[in-house]
Amino acid sequence: MNQIEGVILDWAGTAVDFGCFAPVNVFVDIFKKAGIEVAMEEARGPMGMLKIDHIRAMLSMPRVSALWEEKYGRAFNEEDVNRLYGEFEPALMASLSEYTEPIPGVISTVEALRSQGLKIGSTTGYTNSMMEVLISGAKAKGYSPDHVVTPDDTNSYGRPYPYMIYRNMEALKLSAAWKVVKVGDTTSDIKEGVQAGVWSIGVAVGSSEMGLNEQDYQALSDADKEAVITRTKQGFMQQGADFTINTMTELPQLIERINGLLAEGNRPGNVNA
């Protein structure tokens, strides 16, 4: 039967942690301790990647790289990457339990998808030890996917590599990539879905890409909300997303639409919407 069998959700900024603030604040802090002032936008740029890769990507940014050379009189090296990551992990672990709240609409959406017989998988840029904190916190608040895969399970080949998606497919017995939907809130999520050959969907509200906490988002006028949603969605489409949604509550209806496209012989990557 040509229908979607499973949905694979990202964690922070998609399922929990509105605005994806847990890691961003720590990235800014560890660079500050190293004498480098990074902007929130720079800290968010590589979001979704394995966290050590994220640090390497930040150090490779022209402005950050120049600041590093100015301060230390040399280009950054792998020792610097490892030292920064050594500070990042315990700092994140100390605060992660405060960022396990499911994003509004996620729990009811997952219930609706399960009632349609869909399996719920997940991928992340967090490690297994980080996910232990997140999984237990989110479960206590009502969110628990059927399967979790981290870059630790794929020899540290995180996003944009497609392997975490394939591990989910194997564990959940999903029969074909084109019968799978991946939903995420970063450009890394979109690329992961595209490279896996699944339907790649970007969610705007609560996303790292949007970068607003819930209070700041709700304080916007309707016109400003529309503008920031549009800008966020455009970013996803530029990375190759098949579709974008405002919030997770739109997902069940979108999956019905994708089922209709599948019935007509369409596949991921060849539908512009």
Closest CA to 254 of 112, 119, 102, 122: 112
Q: Which of 76, 74, 73, 1 is nearest to 31 (CA)?
A: 76
Any binding-site annotation on 15? Answer: no
DSSP tag of 37: -
In contact, 240 and 269? CB cutoff 8 Å = yes
Active site residue: 17, 33, 51, 119, which one? 51
Cis ω before 160 (30° cut-off from 0):
yes
Residue 244 to residues 20, 140, 151, 210, 269: CA-CA distances in angstroms?
18, 29, 25, 13, 13
Q: Has 146 been annotated as catalytic? A: no
Alpha carbon 72 to chain centroid distance?
33
Closest of 228, 208, 209, 203 to residue 217, by C-alpha: 228
Phi first, then psi: give them for residue 238, nearest 5 degrees. Answer: -65, -25
CB 204 within 8 A of CB 176: no
Residue 204 is assigned to a ligand binding site = no
Q: Are 192 and 169 in contact (CB under 8 A)?
A: no
Residue 103 per-residue DSSP state: P
How many other CB atoms are found less than 10 A from the CB of residue 53? 21
Is residue 191 part of the annotated active site? The answer reads no
12 marked among binding-site residues: yes
Q: Which residues are annotated as a binding site for Mg(2+)?
A: 10, 12, 185
Catalytic residue list:
10, 51
Q: Which residues are annotated as a binding site?
A: 10, 12, 185
